[in-house]
């Protein structure tokens, strides 16, 4: 099968490449695209430079129609701007990549008769869910420019299904964590702060709850949806594991033999959703069973970042600069 993977050197996209390499032994011929802007993505790219079944284009998703690839069987769209703080500062960038970029990719699929398209969205499109668990049929109520851009991309997908008869499956994964996650996200940023002599920074009182999903379980879920999913369906992806940010911070501190004095509470960010929680029974009904436990994985992740400082330290320094403007609209 010939597969086009966008955002292939980002966090989930890169882990998906590695997942295919480990589990499918060359069964997929992969065309990858990525803008390769960050140091982490440049380092990720090195591993696949000599792969026999991997062809790569260094382009922005909005330039997808410039490539000459007419024999694609499947497109998986991981390409996205995904950090909420950055979307508060620069929503235009998120609209360009997440909305306009998805539109360009769908046009590419339609023009090249690709009738198998998997779009990676997010559980954040539901907005904050205080007490219950969001179903795929629930109304979308995004809070941030990031989640609004992802909800908008889903509407573009829906339009291509209805107008052009395309087959598009939408995945809404919970909060991903794991190795190779960029240092702007909570777990790697916290580990990087501690390893650099700084403290963990938590917004508000740190009681915001997230549904934590290991990236390898996300990869497993995508393959389950590819193999068993219904055409033009939406699937929540979850793990059933819910922890607030203080609990995550304490697990990180424990993994590094530090105590809670290393937690610093800072001003909350605007529009900060309190709780994300999805019902993923629909996915379980087609065979998905999560395999990772965050309580045991945190130590593995902390050790990985400790042993791979050269992978994240340059981008971490940029994150420190960006966070000084995290609530200011440019």
Tens of pLDDT along 132-188? 999 999 999 999 999 999 999 999 999 999 999 999 999 999 999 999 999 999 999
Is the confidence at residue 273, as pLDDT, over 70? yes
Assess whether 293 carries a catalytic annotation.
Answer: no
Alpha-carbon distance of 252 to 280, in angstroms, equals 27
Alpha-carbon distance of 238 to 217, in angstroms, equals 9
Q: What is the pLDDT of residue 30?
A: 97
In three state form, how does the secondary structure of 157-199 look? HHHHHHHHCCCEEEEEECEEECCCCCCCCHHHHHHHHHHCCCC
Catalytic residue (choose from 34, 60, 85, 124): 124
Catalytic residue (choose from 14, 126, 146, 316): 146
Q: What is the pLDDT of residue 25?
A: 85
Is the confidence at residue 284, as pLDDT, over 70? yes
Instruction: Classify strands 117-120 and 168-173 as parallel, antiparallel or unpaired.
Output: parallel
Alpha-carbon distance of 222 to 16, in angstroms, equals 9
Share of residues in the chain with pLDDT > 70 (%): 99
Alpha-carbon distance of 45 to 35, in angstroms, equals 11
Alpha-carbon distance of 306 to 247, in angstroms, equals 20
Assess whether 154 carries a catalytic annotation.
Answer: no
Assess whether 123 carries a catalytic annotation.
Answer: yes
Alpha-carbon distance of 40 to 117, in angstroms, equals 27
List domains and CATH numbers for the chain. 2-181+212-242+275-295 (3.40.50.720)
């Amino acid at each position: 099968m010939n597969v086009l993977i966008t955002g292939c050197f980002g966090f989930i996209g890169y882990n998906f490449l590695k997942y295919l390499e480990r589990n499918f032994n060359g069964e997929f011929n992969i065309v990858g695209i990525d803008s390769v802007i960050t140091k982490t993505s440049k380092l990720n790219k090195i591993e696949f430079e000599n792969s026999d079944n991997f062809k790569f284009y260094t382009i922005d998703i909005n330039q997808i129609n410039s490539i000459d690839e007419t024999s694609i069987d499947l497109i998986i769209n991981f390409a996205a701007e995904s950090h909420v703080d950055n979307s508060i500062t620069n929503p235009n960038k998120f609209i360009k990549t997440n909305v306009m970029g998805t539109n360009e990719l769908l046009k590419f699929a339609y023009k090249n008769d690709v009738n198998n398209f998997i779009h990676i969205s997010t559980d954040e499109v539901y907005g904050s869910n205080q007490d219950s668990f969001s179903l795929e049929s629930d109304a979308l109520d995004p809070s941030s420019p990031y989640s609004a851009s992802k909800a908008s991309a889903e509407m573009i997908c829906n339009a291509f299904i209805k107008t052009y008869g395309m087959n598009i499956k939408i995945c809404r994964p919970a909060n991903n964590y794991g190795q190779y996650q960029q240092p702007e996200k909570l777990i790697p940023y916290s580990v990087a702060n501690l390893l650099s002599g700084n403290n963990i920074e938590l917004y508000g009182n740190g009681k915001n709850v997230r549904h934590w999903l290991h990236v390898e379980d996300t990869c497993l879920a995508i393959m389950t949806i590819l193999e068993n999913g219904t055409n033009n369906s939406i699937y929540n992806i979850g793990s059933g594991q819910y922890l607030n940010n203080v609990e995550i911070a304490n697990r990180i501190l424990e993994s590094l033999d530090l105590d809670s004095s290393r937690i610093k509470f800072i001003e909350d960010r605007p529009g900060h959703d309190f709780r994300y929680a999805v019902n993923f029974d629909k996915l379980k009904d087609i065979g998905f069973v999560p395999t990772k436990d965050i309580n045991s994985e945190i130590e593995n992740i902390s050790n990985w970042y400790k042993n791979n400082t050269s992978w994240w330290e340059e981008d971490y320094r940029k994150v420190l600069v960006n966070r000084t403007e995290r609530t200011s609209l440019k």
